[in-house]
Amino acid sequence: MLINVLQRYVFINHPLNSGASVEIMEEFTDKEKTLLMPFVSNFDKDVFVLRNLPEVVKGALFSKYSRSSKSLRRVLLDDFILSKELDFEDLLKSLPKEGVSEIVATEKAEKFYDRVLVGFGDDSVAELAGAHLALENVSIVATKILEDARIGLSPLEKSTRYVYFDKKVDGKWLYYREPKLMESEVAEVYITSCDHSFETYAKLIPKIAEYVKERMPKEEGLSERGYEATVRAKTCDILRGLLPASTLTNMGFFGNGRGFEYLITKLYADELAEMKNLAGNMENELKTIIPSFVKRASGKFGKMMGEYLSGVRQDMEKTAEGLSDSRKYEEVTLVDYDSDAYYKVIAAALYPYTKMTLEELENYAKNLSEEDKRKMIRRYVGERKNRRHKPGRGFERVYYTFEICSNFGAYRDIHRHRILTQQREPLTTHLGYKMPKDLADAGYESDFRDSMEVAKNAYEEISKKYPKEAQYVVPLAYNLRWQMTMNLREVYHFCELRSTQQGHPDYRSVAQKIYQKVNEVHPLLAGGMSVDMKSYEFERLEAEKEIDKRMQEIKKKYEG
């Protein structure tokens, strides 16, 4: 009896049962701590980071951890560090810092990984290790194909808005010399057009910069850095449309193994020589860091996937042959939307707070008055102070499909949005181009139009035999048509972010029109958005002032 009372007392007053917070910490001996110390950030907290471990070891460790009742530190200690079978000590001795080549270290790490993962066939294991990859001197055409991957990869590309592309190397402008074209009868046409585009761009930089300075004298309080940055950004914005899609640029990726493997597989299946070449180079370099995660890209699995992708593309191209080529231009068209959006959003908004089915909540929402719907949606949106206060996931039940027709330069910025579906048509000169107003006002409209005409003639000649490769010669000012399908939550994010003052006028216009289209069909849902509908002459000015302010604050902080 006494034992039962004591047991009951202990149960009731145990921290896990009394509502008090508790940390169940595993204890390690001093020897174990010494062994673990180089690889974990702490021994006494539930949250810690791993360090000083090869990527393949991290992947293998988390894989084993997912199927073990042990803590991660205990798995690392028992199943890795102290395991004679896995030769963990030998692996660590082979790391570059110990004086052994990285090739040897990576080979040992891969063998280690394979031995740990016997019986682990889950592809998600490849998401547990990643790499930073730099790609330099790739064309703008290539960057759009590379960045089309949405999951597992985070790209960052050299900006045409803040950097001049006016340098030569060995007397040549920096654009991609497409090998098929360079060995063909249209090689001279291609070179002449690309050279002309770059020459016009470079020639106009000092002239447009001077024009911008005349329109925007340096105001008091703005630093020289801020002023020059504003002038440069405005000059780049005006002139970037002259650059051909062959322009060489740089980009970086951070991604996990699974994302890289699928991307490389798709690149091998691409029709363009540049993409196939990049696939091989990327695979070779990633094999020096995460070989086990990308090795299938050129193996049996990758070849089968490549054949599938190529087969579908070829079949669809044949199916589309003979369909008319529309030259219709409309910047933003709302193609499709949910007509039952209001009750879908209201039902989804209430769902986490009730014990009713979704169907019951939708029926409830259908019977609300317009005023009650308005109040319900307003409560769900809440008091948003800025665009980072994102509305709830209930907004993800409602979808919109837009067709956009804007210049390729604007597409490059918009393409960076990933929580949506985008598909584009091939880049051509068929939809015309957009003349920058500032360029015309500055008196250089004829230079711009001449460059566009040269490129158009080159494209039309090259595309007769090489339609895919002809894309390289098209300047960024030419229009492209693409489709975007996104949910209401992404509409909020897209329209608010891309309408901000510092944005390029071309994509600001797209964001503003998307907002207007949604507001026309669903004013109650669009009412919570804060979209900047104004126009600005010097887009980067206020942003540079803010940078000046922050730089001064940092200077005071660290220099006293």
Instruction: Take residue 216 and report the two structure tokens written for it.
Output: 């925007």
Shared-domain flag, residues 160 and 241:
yes
Q: How far is CA 318 from the centre of its chain?
A: 31
Shared-domain flag, residues 299 and 381:
no
Residue with tokens 């062994």: 35
Shared-domain flag, residues 172 and 101:
no
- Determine the pLDDT at residue 399: 98
CA angle 86, 90, 95 (to 5 degrees): 120
Shared-domain flag, residues 249 and 216:
yes
3-state secondary structure of 405: strand
Q: Which of 320, 348, 375 is the last residue of a domain?
A: 320
Shared-domain flag, residues 147 and 285:
yes
- Determine the pLDDT at residue 292: 78
In a domain, 433, yes or no: yes
Shared-domain flag, residues 199 and 104:
no
**Whole domain around residue 475: which residue ranges?**
332-446+468-543
Shared-domain flag, residues 538 and 390:
yes
- Determine the pLDDT at residue 373: 95
The upper half-sphere exposure of residue 17, i.e. CA atoms within 13 Å in the direction of its Cβ, equals 8
Domain at 356, CATH number: 3.30.1360.170
In a domain, 192, yes or no: yes
Distances (CA, A) of 473 to 11, 313, 453, 456, 560: 76, 23, 12, 8, 54
Identify whether the C-beta of residue 462 lies closer than 8 Å to the C-beta of residue 473. Answer: yes
Distance separating alpha carbons of residues 129 and 107, to the nearest angstrom: 16
H/E element, 480: strand 479-487
Q: Which of 84, 104, 121 is the last residue of a domain?
A: 121
- The DSSP line for 439-473 is HHHTT-HHHHHHHHHHHHHHHHHHHTT-TTGGGGG
Shared-domain flag, residues 94 and 181:
no
In a domain, 510, yes or no: yes
Strand order in the sheet with 479-487: 332-337, 399-407, 479-487, 421-424
In a domain, 414, yes or no: yes
Shared-domain flag, residues 151 and 265:
yes
Identify whether the C-beta of residue 492 lies closer than 8 Å to the C-beta of residue 469. Answer: no
- Determine the pLDDT at residue 170: 95
How many helices (H) does the chain have, and how many strands (E)?
A: 25, 9
Mean pLDDT by 10 residues, the chain (560 residues): 36 41 70 89 85 76 76 87 72 52 53 55 70 91 92 89 92 97 98 98 97 90 88 94 96 90 95 96 87 86 94 95 88 97 97 96 96 96 93 96 97 92 96 94 97 98 97 98 97 96 93 98 96 85 75 70
In a domain, 16, yes or no: no
- Determine the pLDDT at residue 2: 32
Query: Contacts from 62-71 at CB under 8 Å and sequence distance 24+?
Result: 62/125, 62/128, 63/116, 63/117, 63/120, 63/122, 63/125, 63/128, 64/116, 64/120, 67/120, 71/26
Domain at 229, CATH number: 3.30.70.3180
State the CB neighbour count (10 A cutoff) for residue 243: 25
CA angle 525, 528, 531 (to 5 degrees): 110
Tally of domains within the chain: 3
Identify whether the C-beta of residue 57 lies closer than 8 Å to the C-beta of residue 94. Answer: no
In a domain, 457, yes or no: no
Residue 422's Cβ-count burial label (10 Å; 0-12, 13-18, 19+) is: middle
- The DSSP line for 34-92 is HHHTTTBS-SS-S---B-S--HHHHHHHHHHHTT-SS-HHHHIIIIIIT-TTTTHHHHH
Shared-domain flag, residues 140 and 261:
yes
Shared-domain flag, residues 96 and 146:
no
Q: Which of 320, 345, 360 is the last residue of a domain?
A: 320
Shared-domain flag, residues 312 and 193:
yes
- Determine the pLDDT at residue 101: 44
In a domain, 487, yes or no: yes
Which of 204, 199, 138 minimizes the C-alpha distance to 172?
A: 199
In a domain, 550, yes or no: no
State the CB neighbour count (10 A cutoff) for residue 205: 17
pTM reported for the whole predicted model: 0.84
